[in-house]
Structure 1
């Protein structure tokens, strides 16, 4: 029986340590969700609850806030944002990657500059605009500012540049228009990049608290992170077991989605050249 090389053992140990550090908050969250108040505030730190209190904490979490509404709002908002981002980004990225026009370099500069502008810089004028149009507390105010993603354009641009030009030329010889090429050639071959971007987009907007906190004041349109604030405001700020149970319910869809799309996500990141 051959022993493993020392370098592989060290590599495995470092990867295991890194994975443990990343999973530590989630492990602590699961542990706290199963504890009573006395177990949480005890002086000794233990990950295994002395009294399993999962059912009670989850029941409290589901009764304190409309959890189904929060999750549905998260799905609707993230789904609409992702749909419009892809709808805009793919044609733009295709044009910049495969078409020749004078403003191509200027467009690339604008995309790079757009990556430097945070949402915080535009929050005030956007809020004033939505307020004057009476669109606060609506899906429109939650979705509209994010329908154009310069990160998506940049990501798809890198992916489309790697696609062979012969494929595009063959489609043109068959009489396809540029929109037909995008719909029938580019999109079917871009699923790895679309899946990779979907993870980035959904995670970013599912966990976003800053913008919903500005434009939403009604629970009917609250997103999952904003719902946690309502949960604590509903006289449950010190009930950390139930709060952690609610957090688990909200984060679970992201974990499941990533596990299902993990292979495509890695393929998309590799093919778009965004790996470190």
Structure 2
């Protein structure tokens, strides 16, 4: 009895206390998410604010989110007059779209074969795919450049796309997704006389919209922002993608005009943001519409 007296029973958890704990937990989680959102969005907000400020306020020591004198029309007019920004954006759309289409056409059948087909050397091929993830783009740059130069394909869209047609990351991602696809559905389709080609594109691929949408975001962001390879194979400004176009734009004449530079950056960033929002909706639709969980 004495020991029981020394260790009183813990106070029961009342509904009010449980609700308070839940509220504190939700508030803490939302505070962390809000801080992360502010950290991620701050550079974009500052870019937009700078693009509507006059030069005197840009170099001012005073920090303000809204300019005292609105200078957006002048900055955006200079950005559009000094360089073909819309052409740069169109080049980026052509580049990212062409690469993504070929990547999907190559990666989806390869991933299906590694996930669902039984053949000698399958595990060895998968190990090679994983090793391919460790090879940076700079390693094959020289032989690829020499091959494209000998074929006379420099200064073309194809020269910017060709090194990225095979994506080992896409093969790995889709292979992991296809492994969860039920084998019973594939066996039933084979018994009905459906070919492997039709199984891949008409049965398995429609269930992979979440993975396709996620990879599309990764691919579009990576190649829209890529400067290294276009800088090597492109010298014609008419074919320049957005990062290389910004490099051509930031010359000695406009290099100190940060208002016009940030306006140009905002124009070239807008298509990527729009594409991300569209892909986000497709990602949600893919999760809710897929018939295989």
Q: State the partner residue of 1:189.
A: 207
1:108-127 maps to which residues of 2 (within 5 A)? 108-127=126-145
Other-structure match for 2:250: 232
Distance 1:146 1:28 in 2: 33
Aligned length: 269
Matched, 1:75 2:93: yes
TM-score (norm 1): 0.93
Q: Does the alignment pair 1:170 with 2:188?
A: yes
Q: Distance in 1 between matches of 2:183 and 2:282?
A: 23
Can you give the 5+ residue segments of structure 2 that lack an aligned partner in the other structure? 1-15, 288-293
Aligned-CA RMSD value: 1.7
CA distance in 2, matches of 1:191, 1:10: 33
Which residue number corresponds to residue 26 of structure 1?
A: 44
Q: Partner of 2:291 in structure 1?
A: none
Paired with 1:122 and 1:38, the residues of 2 have a C-alpha distance of 47
| Structure 1 segments unaligned to the other structure (5+ residues) | 270-276
From 136, 143, 159, give the equivalent of 2:177.
159
Deviation at 1:187, TM superposition (A): 2.0
Match of 2:138, SS?
A: helix
Secondary structure of 2:140 counterpart:
helix
Deviation at 1:264, TM superposition (A): 3.9
Structure 1 residues 22 and 268: CA distance shift in structure 2, 3 A: farther
Q: What is residue 42 of structure 1 aligned with on the other side?
A: 60
1:87 Cα deviation from its structure 2 partner: 0.4
* Alpha-carbon contact 1:196-1:264 (below 8 Å) kept: no
Q: 2:34 is matched with which residue?
A: 16
Find the aligned partners of 1:268 and 1:94 in 2 and give their Cα distance.
Answer: 19
Any idea what the Cα deviations from partners look like across 1:130-152, whole Å, max 9, x if unmatched?
11211111011001000000000
Q: If the length of structure 2 is used for normalisation, what is the TM-score?
A: 0.88
